[in-house]
Amino acid sequence: MSFIVPDACTLPTVEQPLRLAEFDNLFATAVRQVETLNPSHARMQLTGPTGLEATVRDLTARETQCCSFFAFTLTPGPTDDGEALTLDVAVPVQYADVLDSLVRSASASAGVTVGTTS
């Protein structure tokens, strides 16, 4: 699956595959549910070992530095073991295709179906 990298991204082209691999790894190991709330807002449920929140905060902070149109909100949730998180991802409407690409990548890597909210 190919991810749409928008022209607005300032991450050097040579570094983009490495960043995409970081997201793919996160999606494959931690994402349990993906939901599209509207074309410019998606929500992912993640679980993983202690340290997951720090990993997600670091990755999303670095992504916001090069793609400032992303707004990531991370909310810790209850869990019996490790960490559970809700990751909300919002973009301006003109970047809805980028968000859709991210959602498709997350669901494919995690092996889950994308849910939608009406």
User: What pLDDT is attached to residue 27?
Assistant: 94
The rounded distance, in Å, linking the Cα atoms of 118 and 108 is: 22
User: What pLDDT is attached to residue 45?
Assistant: 96
Percent of the chain at pLDDT above 70?
95
Q: Within 10 A of 81 (CB to CB), how many other CB atoms are there?
A: 9
The rounded distance, in Å, linking the Cα atoms of 80 and 83 is: 8
- Residue 1 reports pLDDT greater than 70: no
Percent of the chain at pLDDT above 90?
68
Confidence band, pLDDT 50/70/90 cuts, at residue 2? low
Across 30-58, average pLDDT: 96
User: What pLDDT is attached to residue 3?
Assistant: 66
* Bridging pattern class, strands 83-90 and 41-48: antiparallel
pLDDT digits (tens, 9 = 90+) for 50-103: 999 999 999 999 999 998 999 999 999 988 889 999 999 999 999 999 999 999
The rounded distance, in Å, linking the Cα atoms of 56 and 66 is: 16
DSSP-derived letter for residue 58 is H
If residue 71 lies in a helix (H) or strand (E), which one and from where to where?
A: strand 71-77
Task: Look up residue 2 and give its two tokens.
Answer: 């190919």
